[in-house]
Chain A
Amino acid sequence: MIEGADSQRAEPLPDIAVEVVGLNKWYGEFHVLRDINLKVARGERIVICGPSGGGKSTLLRCINRLEGWQQGRIIVDGNELTEDPKQIVAVRRDVGMVFQHFNLFPHLTVLENCTLAPIWVRHMPKKEAETLAMSYLARVKIPDQAGKYPARLSGGQQQRVAIARALCMNPNILLFDEPTSALDPEMVKEVLDTMVELASDGITMLVVSHEMGFARQVADRVILMDDGQIVEISAPKEFFSHPRHERTRLFLQQILH
């Protein structure tokens, strides 16, 4: 568990971290998410894979309400996401997100990127926020870059800063939206190593990724999504050696050569 995450809360967190019930979403006429049902246990690590356009990222972005939906419910840490902006902000504070294109704030230094939300959203004193940020920057192994602007870092370093920035909010749940897809091949490993280390800490993780090695190594369950629906949910061992669904077999054939 991330240090301090629990000490701030009076009540213990529910055992179910994320619950998605009967979720349906349309972009105009296009039915992008079709009757999604999913329960993620606390501390569970889920990898979602599947062909592009299958709705993986959309599902992830619904969980912290970056996208709205038309039907169904999503409950995060026992709070149901409604239209209420207060409720949405409350959930977002406890759900960290790492994006494909990092989305670091280019006008702020690495350290300021990490302290901005703790200071202004959590109202943490600046000194404390900086100490916290430095500890997470040390964990992602780039404390020496704290004073630089993001544009001066490599893609892999930027993504590790993005992870540190998310961790600084002490989230209970981390969402990763294709965190290595925009990286040069030589930088994928450093980001995956960081994520493996996080996984061993027991934080709840939902990862949209095509890194099958990562899925095999850390996932508790692997989900295949295609055509807006969940096709298969399996433990990684079954998923890779005995996929049950025809679509999964086809997908694995395509990507594992």
Chain B
Amino acid sequence: MSATDDWTFLRQERIEPLPPPSARAGAFGWLRANLFAGPGNTVMTLLCIALIAWVVPPLVRFFLVDAVWTGADGSVCLASPAQPNPGACWAFIRVWFSYFVYGFYPYDERWRVDLFFVALVFGFVWLLRLSMPRRDLGALYFFVALPILSYVLLHGAPLIGLSVVSTSLWGGILVTVVVAAIGMVFSLPLGILLALGRRSELPVIRMASVAFIEFVRGVPVITVLFMASVMLPLFVPERFAPDKLVRALIGVTLFASAYMAEVVRGGLAAVPRGQYEAANALGFGYWPMMALVILPQALRITLPNIVNTFIGLFKDTTLVFVVGIFDFLRTIEAARADPKWAGPNTTVTGYAFAALFYFACCYGMSRYARRMEIRLARSVRR
């Protein structure tokens, strides 16, 4: 009898929803749950604390406490009775800072570079901050107005009184930013076209895309740079042979676009077939379908990988030094070789400064991508 009591059931009252049971609160509860949840966990926590205690204080001492902040030449950074253990030589960075930013760009014209930086940052903010007004105009500014403005500012336009500054004088962060920005702006559309080409139904286009992608991906970036630098002039008459920096730009862009193509192809493959069919059934042709339906979804899916490629591209810009261009890292190399500043701490500080710069830029890109991902995910999924 009792075994069949709950054999049938009829609900008499609705169960009202209740809040979930609250987690253990307070700092102590948090510590217990996150750092000392069990013996293994506790051991790991202690090991990590030991590692931090071992690594961090010497770094802080070297880069901040014992660091030399001012001085006119390298002697201030050398060991002496007054400072037996000198730390990082920030004086070196201060003295050479403008060289790291502008290279040999003529002193009187450097305001043009500053203006370019401002215009670029303005463009980035307008284009990338989703809350900005009229982002369509922002895109127009970024992709049309900004390149022209940058060319006029940096290269010069004698007609309006801006003297021509040869690219051989450009250097430092200016070159790094120009190479990276142009590489990013051109490699994405080029990569999209290559990815579409690789999925094309026309054999000629498909084979050409595959050949380009596989060839460029199968070759080290330094080789691509050398080839762009040495072989490009063979194909065009001497008079029109592009500038050394332009050749490097083409090399970097082509290299990045091959990788971008593969990234975008992955995104295109991830868009369900039903999306193509729905667009076709509504009467869309190939290009409107791609631009309005497929690519917005594919690029969303691949956003983390696109940014990953951008970060790789940003770091690859350091390789343009092999064709004799003074990018940011190369200017540090050149400055640390200055006999006036020779010394072990100068070198370490120079490289630390470079690492800090590259890390700040790449981490910024990565954080932005993460925020975009979260935002896009919120709008599309539940």
B278 near A103: Cβ-Cβ < 8 Å: yes
Check A101 against B282 for contact (C-beta < 8 Å). Answer: no
The residue of chain A having its C-beta at the shortest distance from the C-beta of B380 within the complex is A106
A121 & B275 in contact (Cβ 8 Å cutoff):
no
Question: Across the interface, do A107 and B282 meet the contact criterion of CB distance under 8 Å?
Answer: no
- Whether the pair A121, B380 counts as a contact (CB closer than 8 A) is no
B190 to chain A, nearest CB (A): 23
Asked whether B284 lies within 8 Å of A117 as measured between CB atoms, the reply is: yes
Residues of chain A contacted by B275 (CB below 8 angstroms): 103, 105
Q: Are A149 and B283 in contact, CB atoms less than 8 angstroms apart?
A: no
CA distance A21 to B102 in the complex (A): 74
Chain A residues near B292 (CB, 8 Å)?
Answer: 116, 120
A121 touches B282 (CB 8 A): yes
A117 to B284 CA separation, bound complex (whole angstroms)? 7
- Residues 277 to 317 of chain B near chain A (Cβ within 8 Å): 277-285, 288, 292-293, 296-297, 300
B297 touches A106 (CB 8 A): yes
CA distance A85 to B287 in the complex (A): 13
Tell me the nearest residue of chain A to B293, going by C-beta: A105
Q: Which residues of B contact A17 (CB under 8 A)?
A: none
Q: Which of B277, B283, B285, B382 contacts A99 (CB 8 A)?
A: B277
Of A99, A104, A106, chain B has the most CB atoms within 10 Å of the CB of: A106
Say whether A93 contacts B382, CB under 8 Å.
no
Question: Are B282's CB and A116's CB within 8 A?
Answer: yes
Q: Does B22 contact A (CB under 8 A)?
A: no
Chain A neighbourhood of B274, CB < 8 A: 99, 101, 103
The A-B contact count (CB < 8 A) is 66
Q: How far is the CA of A223 from the CA of B279 in the complex (A)?
A: 28
In the bound complex, do residue A120 and residue B277 qualify as a contact, i.e. CB atoms below 8 Å apart?
A: no
Please determine whether B278 and A105 come into contact, CB atoms closer than 8 angstroms.
yes
Q: Nearest-CB distance from B379 to chain A (Å)?
A: 6
A45 within 8 A of B: no
| CB of B381 within 8 Å of the partner chain | yes
A96 interface residue per 8 A CB criterion: yes
Cα distance A107–B283 when bound, in Å? 19
Neighbouring B residues of A95 by C-beta, 8 Å: 281
A151/B381 contact (C-beta < 8 A), A101-B274, A121-B283, A165-B282 known: yes
Task: Chain B residues near A149: list those with CB within 8 A.
Answer: 379-380
* A107-B380, A116-B292, A120-B292 known; A64+B285 contact, CB < 8 A: no
B300, A117: Cβ atoms closer than 8 Å: no
Q: Are A121 and B288 in contact (CB under 8 A)?
A: yes
Distance in angstroms from B270 CB to nearest chain A CB is: 12
B281 x A96 contact (CB < 8 A): yes
12 A-B residue pairings within 8 Å (CB atoms): A66-B277, A66-B281, A85-B285, A93-B283, A96-B281, A97-B281, A103-B272, A120-B292, A121-B288, A151-B381, A151-B382, A169-B283
A-side residues, CB < 8 A to B, are 64, 66, 85, 89, 92-93, 95-97, 99, 101, 103-107, 116-117, 120-121, 149, 151-152, 165-166, 169
5 further A-B pairs in the complex, CB-CB below 8 A; given A121-B288, A166-B282: A97-B278, A105-B279, A106-B380, A117-B282, A121-B283
Q: Chain B interface (Cβ within 8 Å of chain A)?
A: 272, 274-275, 277-285, 288, 292-293, 296-297, 300, 379-382
The 4 closest A-B CB pairs, nearest first, are A103-B278, A93-B283, A103-B274, A117-B282
